[in-house]
Every structure is written in structure tokens, then in C-alpha cells.
């Protein structure tokens, strides 16, 4: 369909090497609305591919696969999304990880949208109306979170 593109990438990252993943890019008058799954190939690579369709990224929604990411990696990704790609709105989901939720909420402020199970997003120029802005992280102690998230069992 016109304006709708599937972005197909293959991960080259450790732990998900050669994993294939599709993301959905909808080119709207307000910019690209990008819906990602778990972002195994890397959220930066997916957003970069979307900028080929339209350099204006209106919204990125979905999982960012950063559950066990380090603070340095999280900071790098947040800066890239906000400053390099100039993502307007962010709605991270399931596999993003509590430390990344907190960093994105801090960086994007009112442009951070809670995207938990059952959340509906009304897409349009004023995406900021009638959506939940965000929730406090489930854990305040990210050291405990990281220990639990890295367990294999």
C-alpha cells in the first residue's frame, strides 16, 4: 500500500546474530510512524532505515531490546534517538528494560508515551492528547533489576 513499508533487517548483534525481524513504517503527513517488534537488529539501525523513507520520525513504538543494556549503551541510544534522528515521540514497550524506560522518559519528557499492554495510541499531529504520559519505573534499584534481568533461569 502507498505509504506503508516493511523494514526487513537481520541482526548482527551477539545473542541475536542472524535473527530476522520486520518493522512497520507508515509514512504519514506528520512523519514516519515506526512500529518495531523487539528491535533485535538494533533500534538505531531500524530508525536509520526508516529515515530513508522520510527523515522526519513522528513516533517510534515497540520494544527496544535493551533489558540488560549498560548505562553507557542506553545513554548512547537515547542521544541518537533524540538528537541524531530527532524522533518526535517515543512509546517504548515490553523488552526495552526499566533503566531505558527511565532514561527515555527523562530525555523525551512530555513526548514519552507509556506503551504498556493494552495501550492505544491515536496517531495524528497532536499525539500528546489522551495518552498516558508514562509511569514510574517498577524498581528504583536498577542494580537489583539488572541482576534479575541477566539471569538465565
Residue 76: per-residue pLDDT: 98
Nearest to 9 by CA among 57, 52, 66, 55: 52
What is 33-65 written as a DSSP string?
EEE-SS-TT-HHHHHHHHHHH-S-EEEEEE---
Per the rule left: phi > 0, alpha: psi between -120 and 50, beta: everything else, 114 is: beta
Quick one: average pLDDT of 74-80?
98
Nearest to 86 by CA among 60, 66, 110: 60
Residue 36: per-residue pLDDT: 97
Q: What is the pLDDT of residues 27-58, one digit of tens each?
A: 999 999 999 999 999 999 999 999 999 999 99
Quick one: average pLDDT of 53-82?
96
Yes or no: is domain 3-150 CATH 3.60.15.10? yes
- Strand order of the sheet with strand 20-28? 4-10, 20-28, 31-35, 57-62, 89-92
Tell the residue number behind the cell numbers 535473527, with chain if given.
19
> Structure pTM?
0.84
Amino acid at each position: 500500500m502507498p505509504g506503508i513499508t516493511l523494514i526487513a533487517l537481520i541482526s548482527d548483534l551477539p545473542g541475536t546474530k542472524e535473527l530476522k525481524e520486520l518493522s512497520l513504517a507508515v509514512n504519514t503527513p506528520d512523519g514516519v510512524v515506526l512500529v518495531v517488534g523487539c528491535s533485535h537488529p538494533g533500534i538505531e539501525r531500524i530508525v536509520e532505515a526508516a529515515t530513508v523513507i522520510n527523515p522526519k520520525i513522528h513516533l517510534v513504538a515497540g520494544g527496544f531490546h535493551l533489558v540488560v543494556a549498560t548505562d553507557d549503551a542506553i545513554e548512547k541510544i537515547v542521544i541518537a534517538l533524540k538528537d541524531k534522528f530527532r524522533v518526535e515521540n517515543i512509546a517504548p514497550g515490553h523488552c526495552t528494560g526499566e533503566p531505558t524506560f527511565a532514561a527515555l522518559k527523562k530525555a523525551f519528557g512530555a513526548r514519552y508515551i507509556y506503551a504498556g499492554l493494552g495501550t492505544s495510541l491515536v496517531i495524528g499531529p497532536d499525539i500528546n492528547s489522551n495518552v498516558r504520559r508514562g509511569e514510574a519505573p517498577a524498581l528504583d534499584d536498577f542494580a537489583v533489576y539488572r541482576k534479575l534481568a541477566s539471569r538465565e533461569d
